[in-house]
Amino acid sequence: MSYTTITQLSQGLKDGTFSSRELTQDAIADIKSRDHLYNSFITISEDLALAQADAADQRIAAGQAAPMTGVPIAHKDLFCTQDVRTTAASKILENFIPPYESTVSQLFLNAGAVTVGKTNLDEFAMGSSNENSYFGSVKNPWDTKAVPGGSSGGSAAAVAAGMVAGATGTDTGGSIRQPAAFCNLTGIKPTYGRVSRFGIVAYASSLDQAGPMTHTAADAAMMMNVMAQFDPQDSTSMQVDTPDYTASLNDSLAGLKIGLPKEFFEAGLDPQVAAATLAAIKQYEAMGAQIIDISLPNLQLCIPAYYVIAPSEASSNLSRYDGVRYGYRCDEPKDLMDMYCRSRAEGFGEEVKRRIMVGTYALSEGFYDAYYLKAQRIRRMIKNDFVKAFTQVDVIMGPVTPSPAFDLGSKTSDPVAMYLEDIYTLSINMAGIPALSTPAGFVNGRPVGLHIMGNYFSEAKLLNVAHQLQQVTDWHLQQPQSL
Ligand code: GLN
């Protein structure tokens, strides 16, 4: 079932062209036969998926189907799934079987969607290339010498290769948008608090947010309709009405004000990526939009501030993996301290340890004010830049990444080069606003994304804006040549 959309599958199920069981069996057979090329799945949940498919077929036959009933999808292996192993791509959780379900995956179950498996990621979602996984790196279906992006690289590769039509991701500093850009997908990071974080393995709690990864904006809208719900189990979940994200996809963009921040087009951006991004933005003029130059003066501070805040929160969140209650425990500990130390030393990978050390240092007495508090002040300045910009414009556009997907192994020895990958995406999480990536062409055969950012709770507008571009361009329909 190569390259079909959720919209097409939903229609086919409704029309009786195929059953959910047939779709699910095909998807699983496809993953089994082809995923060795990409390594995008950590776990395939075949029996459960087939049972869910049979239940979906009954629901469809009874005339009680919801739009996603019977559609096979995959979840990033950071969402806890009851009775299905959830690893966060870490050795420390290699054999962890959650006793409960994350709200997001539960909402998809309620909607009748079928979960075929759990996708690969950077360990604890820390990374920009999916090379930090205990289960090995993921390959980009557009060019298997290239990274798929990270940390939601497995979800991106699984959709780009046509093994599932949609998958969930999480985005703490770019992990949905950057892999979406590298793999020619639509990926949206919603407003902080729009989608429940309950049951998602925490990385940096004040930045983490879940969202969909799909071929089209219309498909992303369908997934958002399922996952964007208030959740009393998440204290940061916002009690706001959920619009029907598919209802406004065709709204006219006449009069739309698009802000172009000059800081997004300065040194460091690959000229070909700049050209592709600007050409995509130019398409909006024909739709009646107006392009306005703006400035986000504190943008360059986002990397140092993020790489203090995110590791600080991570060091706190990851203190729970101590070998006592669940997760990996070292062999034959001498005493309690030896058990803590060796379980963590053996269970965590290099990048995770680096972040725990940076975060613990930044939070320690004497350094807290100099680092953590200062980073929080910078965060507020970045947020204020966006708030001000949105008094002038409706959406902001720019590149998602400074370059197209880079080669596997090319940045693994230089963490700072890897962190610079996030220059355009991090500030969005710091401000808590929503943003998406939509396909915007190719540079040397590798996809480029257009970054569309909006004010708080403007997801429906962002999807509308992306959908309109997808009506006049065909980048999102292109397939990797290898397929
Ligand atoms: N690359 C960033 C990091 O490593 C963002 C990751 C993410 O969004 N989960 O922190």
Q: Ligand 1 centre and the CA of 427: distance in Å?
A: 12
Q: What is the pLDDT of residues 332-368, one digit of tens each?
A: 999 999 999 999 999 999 999 999 999 999 999 999 9
Give yes or no for residue 128 CB within 6 A of ligand 1.
yes
The burial class, CB within 10 Å (0-12 / 13-18 / 19+), for 257 is: middle
Give a yes or no: residue 262 inside a domain: no
Q: What is the pLDDT of residues 103-137, one digit of tens each?
A: 999 999 999 999 999 999 999 999 999 999 999 99
CATH (domain of 250): 3.90.1300.10
Q: What is the mean pLDDT of the chain?
A: 97
Residue 409 has pLDDT above 80, yes or no: yes
Give yes or no for residue 314 CB within 6 A of ligand 1.
no
Q: Ligand 1 centre and the CA of 423: distance in Å?
A: 11
Give a yes or no: residue 224 inside a domain: yes
The mean per-residue pLDDT over the stretch 438-457 comes to: 98
Give yes or no for residue 152 CB within 6 A of ligand 1.
no
Ligand 1 probe mutation, 133, 203, 437, most atoms within 8 A of CB: 203
Which listed residue (45, 76, 105, 315) is catalytic? Answer: 76
Residue 2 has pLDDT above 80, yes or no: no
175 included as an active-site residue: yes
**What residues form DSSP beta bridges with 385?**
none
33 included as an active-site residue: no
458 included as an active-site residue: no
Q: What is the pLDDT of residues 230-288, one digit of tens each?
A: 999 999 999 998 999 999 999 999 999 999 999 999 988 999 999 999 999 999 999 99
Give yes or no for residue 149 CB within 6 A of ligand 1.
no
Give yes or no for residue 57 CB within 6 A of ligand 1.
no
Nearest ligand 1 atom to alpha carbon 207: 8
Q: What is the pLDDT of residues 281-329, one digit of tens each?
A: 999 999 999 999 999 999 999 999 999 999 999 999 999 999 999 999 9
Give yes or no for residue 125 CB within 6 A of ligand 1.
yes
Give a yes or no: residue 367 inside a domain: no
Nearest ligand 1 atom to alpha carbon 174: 8
pLDDT at 417: 84
Q: Ligand 1 centre and the CA of 127: distance in Å?
A: 5
Give yes or no for residue 131 CB within 6 A of ligand 1.
no
**Contacts with 361 (C-beta within 8 Å, 6 or more apart), sequence order:** 367, 371
Give a yes or no: residue 236 inside a domain: yes
Give a yes or no: residue 365 inside a domain: no
Residue 439 has pLDDT above 60, yes or no: yes
Give a yes or no: residue 74 inside a domain: yes
Nearest ligand 1 atom to alpha carbon 429: 8
Give a yes or no: residue 28 inside a domain: yes
Q: How many domains does the chain have?
A: 1
Q: Ligand 1 centre and the CA of 151: distance in Å?
A: 6
The mean per-residue pLDDT over the stretch 397-419 comes to: 94
Structural domain including 95 reads 6-255
* pLDDT-derived band at 1, boundaries 50, 70, 90: very low
Give yes or no for residue 422 CB within 6 A of ligand 1.
yes
Residue 3 has pLDDT above 80, yes or no: no
Give a yes or no: residue 41 inside a domain: yes
